[in-house]
Amino acid sequence: MKKFGLLVAGGIAAIVLLSTIGPIAGMVISLAILYFVIKQFLKTKSTAARIGLGILGLIVLSAAASNAPALFGIAAAYVLYLVYKNWNEAKYSEPVTESDPFVNFEKQWNDLHKNY
């Protein structure tokens, strides 16, 4: 039943991720442009250039904000990561038994020497 739940959650997350690829790309591009605009804004000394870069920064910031559904896509990618990570996770851990015959021999040999 756990696998079925993971499959359903992964399927829904995959559909959401695929439907938000455009906004994710738009947000990445607009945030990259905003980064370079802020860098240039901090470097420049001219007042006119600062005003122009400030206006450009506000325009690019509004473009990044308009791609807010990309946050759902990022959350869906994280859910897909969790589903992938938990897919093969064991429900309980089985006790590890030694199958090497020499290990058992050494234990018995040590037990015999303790008695003498």
DSSP track, 80-111: HHHHHHHTT--SSPPPP----HHHHHHHHHHH
pLDDT at position 70 is 93
CB atoms within 10 A of CB 73: 22
Over its length of 116 residues, how does the chain's per-residue pLDDT go in tens digits?
Answer: 788 888 899 999 999 999 999 999 999 999 999 999 999 999 999 999 999 999 999 999 999 999 999 999 999 999 999 998 888 775 655 555 556 666 677 777 788 787 66
Q: Is 72 a member of any domain?
A: yes
| Structural domain count of the chain | 1
pLDDT at 100: 67
**What's the domain range around 82?**
2-90
CB-based contacts of 107-115 (< 8 A; 24+ apart in sequence)? none
Q: Is residue 24 part of a domain?
A: yes
The answer to whether position 108 is within a domain reads: no
Q: Could you identify the residue written with the tokens 């006119």?
A: 48
pTM: 0.67
111, part of any domain = no
Q: H or E element: which one contains 43?
A: helix 21-43
Q: Is residue 40 part of a domain?
A: yes
- Is 43 part of any domain? yes
8 domain residue, yes or no: yes
pLDDT at 87 (0 to 100): 83
95 domain-assigned = no
Q: How far apart are CA 41 and CA 53, in angstroms?
A: 6
- Tell which residue, 10, 6, 7, 5, has the closest CA to residue 80: 10
